[in-house]
Amino acid sequence: MLQPAVADLKDPGLYGNRELSLLEFNRRVLEQAKDPATPLLERLRFLTICSANLDEFFEIRAAGVRQQAAYHVVPKGADGLAPEQVLRAISELAHKLVEEQYRTLNEVLLPSMEKEGIRLLKRRHWSTRQQRWVRRYFDEQVLPVLTPVGLDPAHPFPRVLNKSLNFIVSVEGTDAFGRGSGIAVVQVPRSLPRVIALPREAAEAPYDFVLLSSIVHAHVEELFPGMAATGCYQFRVTRNSDLWVDEEEVDDLLRALKGELPSRLYGDAVRLEVADDCPEEMNQYLLDNFQLQPQDLYQVNGPVNVNRLAALYELTERPDLKYPRFVQGLPRRLEKSADLFATLRRGDVLLHHPFQSFTPVLDLVRQAAADPDVLAIKQTLYRTGVDSPVVDALLEAARNGKEVTAVVELRARFDEAANIDLATRLQEAGAKVVYGIVGYKAHAKALMVVRREGRRMRRYVHLGTGNYHTRTTRAYTDFSLLTCDRDIGEDVHKLFQQLTGLGRIARMKKLLYAPFTLRKALIASIDREAEAARSGKPARILARMNALTEPGIIQALYRASQAGVPVDLLVRGVCCLRPGIPGVSDNIRVRSIVGRFLEHSRVFCFHNGGQDLVLCSSADWMERNFFRRVEVCFPIEDERLRARVLNEGLHFYLSDNAQTWVMQPDGSYKRLKPGAQKRRCTQELLLESLAG
């Protein structure tokens, strides 16, 4: 009898491409903008999120692939695709996505908003009164800061800022110096608001708005006195924004990054967006100037930066068209006690954000800053925001004489400037500030407070799956563990020793950490489940994360599936694993939840012979997290809290039928619908059960 062929788990056909999977995720985000069940202004917000995501995609991901193609890099990804193949596929998918964005805006959202008295007025719809108001606004607020540049040998094409609003204008006539017709470029400063609310005396609906681009377009001839503007077309160029600093060659990473930040504004062009009525010869002129190809051109029917329409959400006071507000809850134990140290001595505390408040984490730092028995505070800071209460508490602690150590990750993408500022402020207050380890981003989320209690020192610890950013703790789902467990405290102490000092790989009692033990331990846990299944014993793997790309982990999951292990994965964004492939991944199911809150938690559960091993982590299952970052993965050992994480973080989500997308073997997704079943939206259920 012939034995069935053994699948080659390195076959490129078993792996999706990271960039294309990321575009697929943004399609799911866009679908939220099209969903009538979503409040109208939230639908607009999802549209702007999709636009912002695409900007970052081109600035980082597409830009990186372009560099690989330029340097003829041999394919290294498990999918085996050459950079040139990926670029072609990106262009095809991104053009479809952008076309759908503008169709949704023009045919669905704007008409629906107009019915609600929220109008984005086009120039041809301005009344005489509105035209007069707009003219005054242009003369007083816009004209003084515009600088048109007529293109000739003395005025070459100006440097165009990354993602800035610009106009290319064709002009006829002769100017004061006898120069004839030609082309001019008008750059619009970022200091000007892109969406302007008409005042009561000019508005004819409860909420009337005009775009700055429309105002400039309507009065562009004012910039060229005595000449005729025969064409005016908005355009925007997206540039490579990935910073590069040779960390081994610089003496001061902060100073080097600060010097590199301005280059982000003028990196190599990767995408050109223009108005869809721009003539072909003008399009080609711009493409040539930015050294781009026709596939890099995106002609759009509307504002070139949809993301700026997010201002409409903020400027429109219509709570009935937004998600209902909610008050974040607190565990009962914290409601009854003001002394967080005493509470933690009685047992661990678990917080599930954003349904539960992040305030207890802030309170831990604030209490530590004021407590005379606290000797030291150590914390990793990846993203905190500009005005951060966490940083304020650390500054207060340093001023109060505490030993404050902050591991500030200067290279947190697009937060570099904010992190440089907070690092400087902390240093000026007397805190010890380090920037992690050369070649590795410090992505772990850890806080440790050292307190003298009688004759002993006790460590109080916070570990989380998300950042110390108070704004995102109201928008991202994450778990926080507050504990004074002795072993975890010692492990976190060793982690900070490695981040700030020198030494060999630390032996951890309970924590797993990258780049040393995390990947190996996860693969060992996956393999144990596979061995149990082969032996006829119960086995199961549940895992939730933002992204799954690492080939070694994917191969381990394929082996587990082949052994008969049921594998349920909740992967919000990029997933390079292909589920449902006969003989390889028959037992693997992949779901993606896209809803009101950004699914950010990383939770892993292994059946572990009936003794569920439940882990939370700062790390996704990606190469960068396992090999190029410092990450922490921590166990949930308290039986009651472990049950909470299993239910709230995994089981509830696996039963969701309102915001779930199911991944197909070809990498596409289908939305799950309730059908005859009762509608079950996990985020709404968690709000009902956990919020205040």
Give the residue numbers annotated as catalytic, written as ranges.
443
Measure the CA–CA gap between 203 and 180, rounded to whole angstroms. 41
**Token pair recorded at residue 344:** 């933690």
Measure the CA–CA gap between 51 and 619, rounded to whole angstroms. 26
Q: Can you name the residues that pair with 182 across neighbouring β-strands? A: 171
Over its C-alpha atoms, the chain yields an Rg (Å, rounded) of 27
Q: CB burial class (10 A; 0-12, 13-18, 19+) of residue 3?
A: exposed
The 8-class DSSP code of residue 540 comes to -
Measure the CA–CA gap between 249 and 253, rounded to whole angstroms. 10
Measure the CA–CA gap between 154 and 590, rounded to whole angstroms. 59
CB atoms within 10 A of CB 570: 23
Which DSSP helix (H) or strand (E) runs through 50?
A: helix 40-56
Cβ proximity of 650 and 605 under 8 Å: yes
Write out the DSSP string of 425-489.
Answer: HHHHTT-EEE--BTTBEE---EEEEEEEETTEEEEEEEEESS-S-TTGGGTEEEEEEEE--HHHH
- Going by DSSP bridges, is the β-strand pair 446-453/456-464 parallel, antiparallel, or unpaired? antiparallel
Helix (H, G, I), strand (E, B) or coil at 81: coil
Cβ proximity of 407 and 482 under 8 Å: no
Query: Which residue, 241, 244, 236, is CA-closest to 272?
Result: 236
* Backbone torsions φ then ψ of 629, nearest 5 degrees: -140, 155
**Token pair recorded at residue 608:** 């572990």
Measure the CA–CA gap between 138 and 132, rounded to whole angstroms. 10
Measure the CA–CA gap between 498 and 630, rounded to whole angstroms. 10
CB atoms within 10 A of CB 59: 23
Q: Which residues, in sequence order, are CB contacts of 269 under 8 Å at separation 6+?
A: 237, 238, 239, 240, 290, 291, 292, 296
Cβ proximity of 570 and 653 under 8 Å: yes
Cβ proximity of 515 and 626 under 8 Å: yes
What Å distances lie between residue 369 and 269, 391, 409, CA to CA? Answer: 47, 11, 22
Tell me which residue has tokens 């119960």: 538
- Going by DSSP bridges, is the β-strand pair 147-150/182-187 parallel, antiparallel, or unpaired? antiparallel
Query: Which residue, 508, 501, 504, 503, is CA-closest to 485?
Result: 508
Which DSSP helix (H) or strand (E) runs through 98?
A: helix 83-103
For Cα atoms 192, 197, 198, give the angle at the middle one, nearest 5 degrees: 120
Per DSSP, helices labelled H in 127-252 are: 128-137, 212-218
Convert 469-481 to b/e letters by CB count within 10 Å (16 or more is b): bbebbeebbbbbb
Measure the CA–CA gap between 13 and 550, rounded to whole angstroms. 15
Measure the CA–CA gap between 100 and 683, rounded to whole angstroms. 27
